[in-house]
Amino acid sequence: MKKIVTLLTLTLLVCIAAANAYGQKEAREDLVSGLLDVYEDKEGVESITISSSLLAMMENGTGQDKQTKELISKIKDLRVLIITDAGVEKALLAELEPVLQNTYTQIMKVKKSAKERMMLYLRTSPEKSGKKQAGALLVTIAEDNSLTVMYLSGNVDTDLIDAVLSGKVNVMNGKINALE
Amino acid sequence: MDEQKVKALLERYFDGATSLAEEQELRRLLTEGDAPASLKPYASLFAFYATERAVSYPAAARAGRAIGVRWWIPAALAAGVALLITVKALTPTHSAYTYYVNGRRVYDKEAATAQAAAKLQMLAASMQHAKAGMASLEKLNEVGRYLEPLDKVRQTLLQVDHVISLAPTAEQSIH
């Protein structure tokens, strides 16, 4: 009996340690997503997350060619935060700034007016099999009375960025699909 | 009973030197008939052996003793179950979508997807605006290309001017 209890205790400790280490690894690699988790259920924030499970449904949908399916399969997660509270907006931007400086590269800045600006950031994950892959695309769109933060994670390469920025990737009727 | 024979057999028995036949003979000599006073303790001993030999354990008890030795089987099963429970508990469950409005979870898939779609379209519209700006830059590049031949003429004139400046003046050439 004593041996069984000892074995169980050791197994549980190993599992907890492994899960904790895995969780910390995930947190280190995806700080922005963790930050969005903190702010998604705050007052003055509207948050939408379309997960990969919904995207999986689209992968099996009919009427899509191979190229479209490949494009969609690159997307792991799509998150949109719309912040209308000025205090929350300021707090989020303050917390985002160091994260973006350390792990993201600003690739574009568009200023439409004094109060309307759009910034694009790209997070590059470590090189895999000799090919550099981007891990996430972050877009912040500041308007007169709101801030929109869009976060796209997955195998974010130039094809996917081009599709997103040209409006080819859309969300319709609970599905993410690429428009031809 | 041949007392000397029994004593010799007993000595060999306790030395572990008796054969099975000798042990059976010794047992027979001590349990059958009346043993002398000096051999009574040994007779009692062999009588006890005979009594205990007749005792048998029930099947269930024998099975319990066998399973108890293999403790690692239930331990491994328990460890496997514990591992599965831990993994299941620590693995976060994902729903297809989540939609929060002012801190409250909203279960309206259409509203969530419509909002996400609207923002994606806004992003695309902003990019169109940016591309329009970049188109102006492209026009500047075209102007540059048109001006390029004039720039070449300017370079040529500069070179000529440099050559002229190096050539001796008329007065210097005369002298």
pLDDT, tens digit (0-9, with 9 covering 90-100), for A31-43: 888 899 999 989 9
Q: What's the rounded Cα separation, in Å, for the pair A125 and A128? A: 8
Subunit contact B102:A45, Cβ cutoff 8 A: yes
Say whether residue A51 is in contact with chain B using an 8 A CB cutoff. Answer: yes
Query: Residue B135 domain-assigned?
Result: yes
Q: What's the rounded Cα separation, in Å, for the pair B93 and B103? A: 20
Query: Residue B47 domain-assigned?
Result: yes
Query: Residue B61 domain-assigned?
Result: no
Q: Which amino acid is at B105?
A: R
Query: Residue B86 domain-assigned?
Result: no
SS3 B74: helix
Subunit contact B99:A47, Cβ cutoff 8 A: yes
Domains held by chain B: number: 2
Query: Residue B91 domain-assigned?
Result: no
pTM for the model stands at 0.56
Would the ipTM clear 0.90, i.e. be above it? no
Distance from CA of B41 to the nearest CA of A (A): 43
Q: What pLDDT sits at residue A180?
A: 44
Instruction: List all residues of chain B from 102 to 131 with a beta carbon under 8 Å from chain A.
Output: 102-105, 109-110, 112-113, 115-117, 119-127, 129-130
For the stretch B2-43, pLDDT in tens is: 888 888 888 888 888 889 898 888 888 888 877 788 888 888
Instruction: Kindly provide the residue ranges of all beta strands, DSSP E only, lying in A100-180, ordered along the sequence.
Output: 104-111, 117-128, 131-142, 147-156, 169-172, 175-178
- Answer whether A97's CB lies under 8 Å from A31's CB: no
Under 8 Å CB pairs connecting chains A and B tally to 136
Boundary of a domain, candidates B40, B55, B70: B55
Residue A150 in this model has a pLDDT that exceeds 80 = yes
In this structure, what token pair is assigned to residue B45? 């001993």
**B80 vs A55, more confident:** B80
For the stretch B103-147, pLDDT in tens is: 999 998 888 888 888 888 888 888 777 776 666 655 665 666 666
Query: Residue B42 domain-assigned?
Result: yes
Q: What pLDDT sits at residue A57?
A: 40
Q: Which of A15, A110, A148 sits opposite B119 (nearest CB)?
A: A148
Query: Residue B143 domain-assigned?
Result: yes
Rg of chain B taking only CA atoms, in angstroms: 56
Domain span at B50: 3-55
- Answer whether A47's CB lies under 8 Å from B98's CB: yes
Query: Residue B171 domain-assigned?
Result: no
Which residues of chain B have a CB within 8 Å of the CB of A48?
97-99, 112-113, 115-116
